[in-house]
Amino acid sequence: MSLAALREALLDHGGTLAASLHPEPPPPSIAAPQAETGAGAPQLAAAGPRASGRERDYELLLEMILEGSLLHYGAPRVVRGADPDLALLLGDELYALGLARLASLGDLAAVAELADLISLLAQAQAASDPALADAVWQAGAAAIGWGATPAHAAAKALARAGGTGAVDALTGSRDAAVAAAGGAPS
């Protein structure tokens, strides 16, 4: 799935979100920077066995939530965020759209996981810790797509407490969840 699918879904949604889209889709070099917080997380979740048969749904809803977080904390890819107050509101709307799509799939475990992801992401951003923010995204995506593990719950608790080693614990929980399900971490 590309950002074109996200753009199309937001155009279909209409309203201020549609009116705030960049006029043209971003070029590939801007659309998929590898150093961006959360890069690849929607694809990681969609590749997991928990998303089987609904890969496009999971990828799109996670792209919505990722775009929402980029409106809050970074450089959004498809939605213009020139006005900081409007960017915050549009980010919230994208969070709500993504979570509503997930709830409609009936995956309440993933809804809870995304709630934790959003909360821990805000904590990482408040601490100006981009490595933690990315680890939160990657571990959360693995838990959504591949299943949460006790190690993942412990890593989230460590991150929530501001503990040292949280990035390594989250990365390890991502790798363990994917490996346990027979995949390979990206």
For 72-99, what is each residue's pLDDT tens digit? 998 899 998 888 999 999 999 999 999 9
Looking at residue 75, its pLDDT comes to 87
Here the tokens at position 93 are 């709307």
Looking at residue 26, its pLDDT comes to 60
pLDDT digits (tens, 9 = 90+) for 101-159: 999 999 999 999 999 999 999 999 999 999 999 999 999 999 999 999 999 999 999 99
The whole-model pTM stands at 0.89
Query: Could you tell me the residue ranges of all domains in the chain?
Result: 3-180
CA quadruple 144, 35, 122, 10: dihedral positive or negative?
negative
The mean pLDDT value of the chain amounts to: 89
Q: Is residue 8 scored above 90 in pLDDT?
A: yes
Residue 4 binned pLDDT confidence (cut-offs 50, 70, 90): confident
